[in-house]
Amino acid sequence: MLSFEYISDPESLTKLVAQYQQSDLLVLDTEFVRTRTYYAKLGLIQAYDGKTLALIDPVALPDLSEFWTLLSDTKITKLVHSCSEDLEVFARYGQCQPSPLFDSQIAATLSGLGHGLGYAKLVNTFLEIEIDKGESRTDWMKRPLSDAQLQYAANDVYYLYKLYPQLVEKINQANRMEWLLEEGERMTEGRLTPPNEELAYLKIKNAFQLFPQQLAYLKVLATWRLKKALKKDSALGFIVKDHALIALAKKQPKTVVELNQLNDLTEHEKRFHGKDIIKVLQTADLDNLPEAVDVIALKNGYKSSFKEVKNILTLLSEEHEVAVEFIGSKRLIHEFLLWLHHKQPEDKPLLLKGWRGDIVKDALAGINFS
């Protein structure tokens, strides 16, 4: 059984933060719940500096401003594992991001150990310990938390601390510490920027099917939905689903009676949002239509260009012993081809930036797609 401090009062938090401020390394993890909400509900924060393992209760301590200052303290390396969702939590509750950031999953990838290794696999590989993941789907908002929950949470930072020296050795042997820290900076970029309500329509699946006039309707609908979701802290799909917004933009009902005849909306959506939807549709700016969504994946030559880039990256990944999915995922290849197509040399895609650019830019110089 691991020993830990359960932090649930301001005095204990102040003492803990003062100790952590003297540390060079702080291991972090969070436990949260997200079912029907837009934002994750933060249930627990785990932290460990090698001396004190703390489980911090954000339910009992709604003001964690002291703790959040640690994340931006550049004298302290923040160690996490597969931290994308943790970064979202830090942005939401702390309005901050960790710097410098050392992600153990990325360290494993850049060391040639494999792409996307889970925490349990990493612990087993280095420490030959089997981690019990039985509490991973538990309710972290309930109080009191059980002993099993607390031990599970403590394990997540305790063993990650034990892994750290071996990961540092591996990443230094590969001479890729700068790559790792660069990835940490990239992952935190833009996290504190609120979602753009005016561009929400571009994230709706199948928006490319619509003509500019229909997109004008989709634009106001998507903006309305996002605002309502943020205000109610509700998942977007629990307001109105994407396919229903597409149907509304195509058919543009003028009255609630017409809207109720649409099979694309649920009875719940019609009953709770019908009147609002009709009002929103009437606000569409038909004098300033959005541009048609340009889907380059449907253009001639896209598939062959994509395949050519993927083949080049595969060879480079073998040469540099880094998973091809990490050097150039499908999204990064698409972003690169989009950049080529629109000929915007000043706005380089991620594939051509930083350590990735150093590896691939010469090999990709001959790719043409327009």
Let me know if 233 is a catalytic residue.
no
Q: Which two tokens stand for residue 346?
A: 């000043």
Catalytic hit among 48, 49, 57, 86: 86
- 217 included as an active-site residue: no
Q: Is residue 319 flagged as an active site residue?
A: no
- Which residue out of 93, 119, 152, 159 is catalytically annotated? 152
The verdict on whether 318 is a catalytic residue reads: no
| 267 φψ region: left (φ > 0), alpha (ψ -120 to 50), beta (else) | alpha
Question: Among this protein's residues, is 86 annotated catalytic?
Answer: yes
- Tokens standing for 108? 């494993």
**Selected catalytic residue, list 20, 29, 158, 183:** 29
The encoded tokens of residue 183 equal 């990835």
Residue 25 CB neighbour total at 10 angstroms: 16
Euclidean distance between CA atoms 307 and 250, whole angstroms? 34
Residue of 49, 57, 103, 156 with catalytic role: 156
Q: Which residues pair with 28 in a beta bridge?
A: 47
- Kindly list the catalytic residues: 29, 31, 86, 152, 156
